[in-house]
């Protein structure tokens, strides 16, 4: 079965069209043009604001023609990540989608269901000729995944609606009314280099096979962070053998839990067997600890050529490993007010040690501004302690939950009526755009919902077909109630 034959056909066909367009964060020119052409070809009012967000407006249809205007919002960009052994050019190729039972996934890459399903749902409404809906102000933002600059620079004067539906959550029984804010911490340090010791042998050490995932939504699932895991292995090796660090390359995206890390190192040839034995020893320990959540974890040591390479000078290596080992990673604080909500976290997303430069990227999240400052300062202090330069940027606010929201009451009652069960009314630990959008759209009542999406931001990303149908039916009936 092909994606285009799935129901609802309008939504899935628009999703397939969208996924044929490369749309990485910071490089949305092609998808902006795609959306502008889409709106104009429908004869709808279509505009692009100064930052690149696309707005398409459609009058109400059928018996809802004179209902109150609704803002519907999703983001255009997607996380581009692939498995190391997948040959794929995100700049030139459309996503290769596969129907697998009740799920749609991609062939070795991220799928783009985050937030492409939301975009496609809005497109299906905009292109419809037989669906009753209120007047729609469709907001398609850019760069949600790497800084939320679209939301930050939004021109609020383009909107008159007083209710906003954000279609960017990942559980179909959940109504989100709050989210975490975030801040990026980027560090840099110039380390000294030294020649490899005489009679050295080179090795490549790899941590791979981890689940990865979204560093907000999945941060409380106990998954391994490849950068922290690799640091643990190196810290142990340094205690038992005279190891020299040549390079460290771990993680990929600022908002994804690192799945892989690779290190090049060297030891005296007489210590090679000790190195191999110690890697096997600590690898076995780590695999036992993570066997429940990381069944595919591999820690692999292979011989490699390091001729002509330079190593990190030993005192700088100690500083680097100590800093990486000490930096907090994962859940920092659970919310004392909302059950099971991660209040504050940090994810060590990227580590590079190469050619005299030690670089890290991490993302701190919190639903409380003061605790966000606390974790950000904790990360800053850790790296400043070793003499690194620290730059913190991309700060964005959280979305304060409003349990008395009118749209929440409407949608919660509707969910109970349609599905005979209680919806999960939650704040989430991801960085939804609603917190930022509320600054540009004061007084607008906001809520977020969506279909079941799993493993977003990783090549294992997938969206449930039956859940998309449920989401679509619920969306249409919600619009029908907003008259």
Q: Which residues are catalytic?
A: 77, 144
The residue with tokens 């129907």 is 99
Q: Could you tell me the CA-to-CA distances from 221 to 215, 294, 310 in Å, in that order?
A: 10, 11, 38
Cβ burial, residue 308 (10 Å; 0-12/13-18/19+): exposed
Dig out the tokens for 378 from the structure.
Answer: 């904790």
Displacement of CA 264 from its chain's centroid (Å)? 28
Tell me the backbone φ, ψ of residue 210, rounded to 5 degrees: -75, 160
Contact by Cβ (8 Å): 246, 311: yes
Dig out the tokens for 212 from the structure.
Answer: 């990865």
| Number of alpha carbons in the 13 Å side-chain half-sphere of residue 86 | 18
Dig out the tokens for 174 from the structure.
Answer: 């959940």
Displacement of CA 413 from its chain's centroid (Å)? 31
What is the C-alpha to C-alpha distance for residues 430 and 85, in angstroms, rounded to an integer? Answer: 29
What is the C-alpha to C-alpha distance for residues 55 and 72, in angstroms, rounded to an integer? Answer: 10
Dig out the tokens for 452 from the structure.
Answer: 């079941």
Q: Could you tell me the CA-to-CA distances from 291 to 32, 169, 211, 221, 301 in Å, in that order?
A: 43, 29, 12, 13, 20
| Sign of the CA dihedral with 322 first, then 324, 325, and 331 last | positive
Give the Cβ contact number of residue 340 at 10 Å: 9
The string of DSSP letters for 214-265 reads BTTTTTTS----HHHHHHHHHHHHHHHS--EEEEEEE---TTB----EEEEE
What is the C-alpha to C-alpha distance for residues 103 and 461, in angstroms, rounded to an integer? Answer: 10
Closest alpha carbon to 431 in 339, 386, 374, 366: 366
The enclosing H or E element of 376 equals helix 369-384
Looking at 90-155, list the stretches that DSSP marks H as alpha helix, in order from N- to C-terminal side.
113-127, 149-152
| Buried b / exposed e along 193-213 (16+ C-beta atoms within 10 A) | eeebeeebbbbbbbbbbbbbb
Compute, in degrees rounded to 10, the torsion defined by CA atoms 214, 218, 219, 224: -90
| Axis crossing angle, helix 9-19 with helix 113-127, rounded to the nearest 10 | 120
């Amino acid at each position: 079965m092909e994606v285009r034959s799935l129901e609802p056909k309008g939504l899935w066909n628009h999703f397939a069209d969208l996924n044929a367009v490369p749309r990485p964060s910071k490089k949305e020119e092609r998808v902006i043009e795609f959306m502008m052409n889409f709106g104009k070809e429908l004869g709808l009012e279509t505009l692009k604001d100064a930052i690149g967000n696309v707005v398409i407006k459609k009058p109400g249809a059928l018996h809802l023609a004179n209902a109150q205007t609704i803002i519907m919002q999703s983001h255009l960009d997607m996380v581009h990540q692939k498995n190391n052994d997948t040959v794929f050019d995100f700049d030139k190729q459309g996503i290769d989608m596969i129907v697998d039972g009740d799920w749609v996934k991609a062939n070795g890459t991220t799928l783009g269901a985050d937030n492409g399903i939301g975009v496609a749902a809005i497109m299906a409404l905009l292109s419809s000729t037989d669906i009753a809906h209120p007047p729609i102000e469709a907001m398609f933002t850019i760069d949600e995944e790497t800084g939320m600059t679209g939301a930050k620079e939004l021109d609020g004067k383009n909107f008159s609606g007083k209710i906003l539906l954000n279609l960017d959550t990942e559980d179909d029984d959940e109504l989100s009314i709050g989210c975490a804010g975030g801040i990026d911490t980027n560090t840099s340090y110039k380390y000294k280099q030294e020649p490899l010791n005489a009679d050295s042998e080179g090795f490549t050490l790899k941590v791979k096979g981890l689940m990865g995932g979204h560093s907000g939504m999945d941060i409380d699932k106990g998954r391994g962070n490849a950068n922290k895991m690799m640091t643990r292995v190196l810290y142990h090796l340094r205690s038992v053998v005279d190891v020299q660090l040549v390079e460290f390359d771990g993680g990929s995206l600022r908002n994804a839990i690192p799945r892989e890390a690779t290190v090049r190192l060297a030891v005296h040839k007489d210590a090679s067997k000790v190195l191999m034995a110690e890697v096997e020893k600590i690898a076995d320990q780590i695999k036992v600890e993570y066997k429940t959540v990381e069944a595919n974890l591999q820690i692999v040591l292979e011989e490699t050529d390091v001729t002509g390479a330079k190593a990190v000078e030993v005192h700088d290596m100690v500083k680097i490993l100590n800093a990486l080992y000490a930096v907090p990673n994962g859940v920092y604080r659970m919310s004392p007010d909302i059950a099971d909500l991660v209040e504050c976290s940090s994810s060590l997303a990227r580590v590079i040690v190469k050619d005299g430069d030690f670089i890290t990227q991490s993302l701190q999240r919190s639903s409380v501004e003061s605790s966000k400052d606390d974790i950000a300062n904790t990360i800053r202090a850790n790296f400043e302690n070793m003499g690194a330069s620290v730059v913190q940027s991309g700060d964005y606010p959280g979305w304060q939950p409003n349990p008395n929201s009118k749209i929440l009451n409407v949608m919660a009652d509707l969910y109970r009526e349609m599905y005979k069960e209680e919806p999960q009314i939650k704040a989430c630990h991801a960085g939804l755009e609603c917190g930022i959008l509320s600054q540009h759209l004061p007084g607008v009542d906001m809520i977020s919902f969506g279909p079941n999406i799993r493993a977003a931001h990783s090549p294992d990303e997938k969206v449930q077909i039956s859940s998309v149908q449920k989401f679509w039916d619920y969306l249409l009936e919600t619009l029908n109630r907003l008259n």
